[in-house]
């Protein structure tokens, strides 16, 4: 069994906002790392949305997941422009 996951995963489960998700870390593909695979929590939460406008939005993740630049997150105006372009 994988080591205990960060407490944020367990805290998410305790909110009762979505079905519980196994909070243990898992292998990260074939690499020697353990990862939470937080997309599992995002999908569980998305399944509870009742507003069709929200439900139809794509799950895009955080800026550091789709921007391949270490400088980008430190530039709020660029982040806002990118987020606005997604909408």
Distance from C-alpha of 70 to C-alpha of 76, rounded to nearest angstrom: 13
Quick one: CA dihedral 69, 74, 80, 83, positive or negative?
Answer: positive
Determine the structural domain holding residue 80 and report its residue range. Answer: 57-87
Q: pLDDT tens, position by position, for the chain (87 residues)? A: 555 545 789 999 999 999 999 999 999 999 999 999 989 999 999 999 999 999 998 887 776 677 777 788 788 898 888 878 876
Residues 42 and 81 in one domain: no
CA 21 to chain centre: 13
How many structural domains is the chain composed of?
2
- Residue 35 sits in the same domain as residue 15: yes
pTM comes to 0.66
Are residue 68 and residue 36 in the same domain, yes or no? no
């Amino acid at each position: 069994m994988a080591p205990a996951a960060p407490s944020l995963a367990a805290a998410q489960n305790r909110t009762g906002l979505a079905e519980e998700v196994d909070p243990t870390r898992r292998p990260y593909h074939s690499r020697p790392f353990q990862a939470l695979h937080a997309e599992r929590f995002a999908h569980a939460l998305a399944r509870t949305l009742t507003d069709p406008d929200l439900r139809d939005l794509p799950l895009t993740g955080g800026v550091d997941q789709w921007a391949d630049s270490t400088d980008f997150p430190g530039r709020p105006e660029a982040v806002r422009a990118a987020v606005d372009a997604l909408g």
